[in-house]
Amino acid sequence: MTNWIILIAGTALLASLTLSGDNYLLRLATIVCMYATLAQSWNFIGGFAGYPSFATAAFFGLGAYVSAILQNQGLPMIAGWGVAGLAALAFATFIGGAILHLRGHYFAIASLIIAEMLREIVNTTPDLTGGGMGLNVPILRISVAAQAQFFFYAMLALAAITTATAIIVQRSKFGFGLRCIQQNEDAANILGVNAYAYKTGAFVLSAVFVGMAGAIYASWVNYIEPPDVFDVLLAIKPLVMVLLGGLGTIFGPVIGAFVLLAFEEVVWRNLLTVHAAALGFIIVVLVLFLPNGLLSLARERLFRRKPS
């Protein structure tokens, strides 16, 4: 119940950002919501099921291209986003069947090459995808300010839906089964958990919303190209965010996205020449001193308050 209240309150608070009328702030908030969606999605497979997936970039790029291509064929924008989600779902089911029998590092490497594979496919089919030249996405014919608001609301809604899904999953039999798999897959199997189906389910959940985020992103920036939407950072940043916020928790991924992007922005503004090094240093320090994520700080506080 608390989780739902936090989700609704947080969403409402963020939505009120549009009142500020500051487009820089809106742009930042849109990116935060996008990464919150990616991090929250990664948490299904990486946090709940314990499978370190690097396939996020693949689903993002897939969603972006599917939606962009269909919109250029005349499909309405919102329908394009929906189809992008379905495409990511179908693709994750197919790929999951191929690589989810691998574990640990082997799974990580297999999931990493999926984005590269898709990128090559896009590069070698210029007639359909524009190849290395990139692809224009139909522009929404409304004012710049209205666009900023619209895409912010779209990303916020997507992040909220993804988080709501996480809340439902965590309390369900499905979520419980994933926790069993994460802690001991062989034992889970012997206890009657259909590990294969459950892992595939988690992998699919880690793809659907990411595909839609990619589609919304494509409509937002109006132009996509392979190095942009298949960027390996799209796979790595969500993972860092989840580790930062708290693995396998509900709001950890969202908090992680907030904190990492805020850091990025501040560091980038003040230390332009060495911002990558400074950011790396901050991440290392956080992981060393807060291995269970930022949420563990709050939890320790709560426990200490209890007289025991």
Partner 1 sequence: MTVLLALDQVSRRFGGLHAVDGVSFTVNEGEILGLIGPNGAGKTTLINLITGVHPASAGRVHFDGRDITRLRPHQIARLGLARTFQIVQPFPKMTVLENVAAGALFAGGASHFREALVAAREHLAFTGLADSADKPAATLTLAQRKRLELAKSLAMKPRLLMLDEVNAGLNPTEIDEALHMTRKVAERGVTIIVIEHLMKVVLAISERIVVLHHGQLIKTGEPNAVLRDRRVIEAYLGAKYASAHSEGRA
Is 189 a binding residue for partner 1 by CB under 8 A? The answer is: yes
Select from 10-18, 129-137, 186-194, 275-283 the region that touches partner 1 (CB under 8 A): 186-194
Give the range of 139-147, 183-191, 200-208, 292-300 binding partner 1 by CB under 8 A: 183-191
What is the number of alpha carbons within 13 Å of residue 15 lying toward its C-beta?
Answer: 13
Rounded to the nearest 10 degrees, the angle between the axes of helix 233-245 and helix 56-72 is 130
Closer Cβ to partner 1, 234 or 247, answer by number: 247
Q: Which of 192, 305, 307, 308 binds partner 1 (CB under 8 A)?
A: 192
The neighbouring-strand residues paired with 135 are 224
Burial class (CB in 10 A: 0-12, 13-18, 19+), 165: middle
Using the rule CB under 8 A, which residue among 117, 183, 274, 300 binds partner 1?
183
Tally of CA atoms within 13 A in the half-sphere of 248 that contains its CB: 18
Structure token pair of residue 67: 């939606």
Instruction: Answer positive or negative: Cα dihedral of 283, 284, 286, 292.
Output: positive
Residue 199: CB minimum distance to partner 1, A: 12
Cα angle 213, 214, 220; round to 5: 90
Write each residue from 161 to 180 as x if it is in contact with partner 1 (CB under 8 A), else as -, in one continuous string.
Answer: ------------x--xx-xx
Would you say 120 or 173 has its CB closer to partner 1?
A: 173
- By C-beta, is 133 or 191 nearer to partner 1? 191
Contacting residues toward partner 1, per CB under 8 A: 173, 176-177, 179-180, 183-184, 186-196
